[in-house]
Amino acid sequence: MSDDLDMKGEEIDLLAAEYALGIADDEGLARAGALLADDEDFRRGVARWSGRLAPLLEEVDSISPPPDLWTRIENAIGPRIIALAPEVSSNIHVLRRRVNLWRGYSAVATALAASLALFLVTRPSAEAPTQPSAGAPLVATMEAEGSPAKLVATFDPASRMLLVAPAAGLSAVAGRTHELWLIPADGKPRTMGLLEPGGARRVAIPPAMLAEIKADVTLALSVEPAGGSPTGQPTGPVVAAGKLVRA
């Protein structure tokens, strides 16, 4: 390695240290931002300096946060969107069949549908219902004018699962992500989690949110900064939206 390269490496490691220390000036921050994006050595340097300095945090006293903060966090995190394995994605036809059943025999099919719901998830999950609630599946076709994105969302009350299948036009944008929102009657959007591009997703609806998922509520997908909306409300353009209706 030449002296020039050594000098450059030294300079970059010092910037990594300043960045991890949180002391980099505006110029340093702008450079750090660019290096974080495409310099593996710099990223490693920042990670190492963070690790080196971390023991200093031991001397900070623990202080209990106010008791209601957990409730606020629980409301802010919403459900978590889980990517479905390809073989499970392809099983979505089971749900479609169920939806068709409902269309045809909605009165008679309640019991049958409840048992078919077991096909929706390949293995039992922590959120699996102990008391399946009966009810018709809800379907939303999500789209927006001027946007190529199109999604089909299906909520199955028996399994408490919302399945979201991007049908078209959902592409990755560097530094941005898609966030799914539920907009209940009060008009105040609640996050359903981040939707990365890819195949179908399932969202396990937490019990507290269950009552809000019903016919006529809107599902919307907005573009947000990486990591999701910083405010807890949609901040970017809505690229797809649609109302849940009875299947």
Partner 1 sequence: MENPAGVRTGSEEGRPLADALTAVAGGDRAAMADLYQRTSSKLFGICLRLLGSEAEAEEALQETYVAVWRKAGLFDPAKASPITWLAILARNKAIDRLRVRKPGSNAGLEEAADVVDPGASALDVLEDAQESHRLSGCLDELDARTGQMIRAAFLDGATYPDLAGREGVPVGTMKSWIRRGLLRLRGCLEQ
Return residues touching partner 1 (CB under 8 A).
10, 13-14, 17-19, 21-26, 29-30, 32-34, 36-37, 43-44, 46-48, 50-66, 69-70, 72-74, 76-77, 79-80, 82, 126-127, 174-175, 193-194, 204, 206, 225-228, 230
Least spacing, CB of residue 43 vs partner 1, in Å: 5
Residue 146 or 175: which CB sits closer to partner 1? Answer: 175
Least spacing, CB of residue 35 vs partner 1, in Å: 9
Residue 148 or 225: which CB sits closer to partner 1? Answer: 225
Least spacing, CB of residue 141 vs partner 1, in Å: 26
Least spacing, CB of residue 164 vs partner 1, in Å: 14
Residue 164 or 247: which CB sits closer to partner 1? Answer: 164
Residue 6 or 10: which CB sits closer to partner 1? Answer: 10
* Residue burial 14-27, b: 16+ Cβ < 10 Å; e: rest: ebbbbbbeeebeee
Reading phi first (left if > 0) and then psi (alpha if -120 to 50, else beta), residue 218 is in: beta
With H, G, I as helix, E, B as strand and everything else as coil, classify residue 230.
coil
CA–CA dist 160, 213 (Å, integer):
10
Residue whose pair of structure tokens reads 């809505």 in the numeric block: 238
Least spacing, CB of residue 234 vs partner 1, in Å: 15
Question: CB under 8 Å to 167, separation ≥6 — which residues?
Answer: 150, 151, 152
Residue 51 or 148: which CB sits closer to partner 1? Answer: 51
Q: How far is CA 48 from CA 13, 18, 24, 69, in A?
A: 10, 12, 16, 32
Question: CB under 8 Å to 185, separation ≥6 — which residues?
Answer: 216, 217
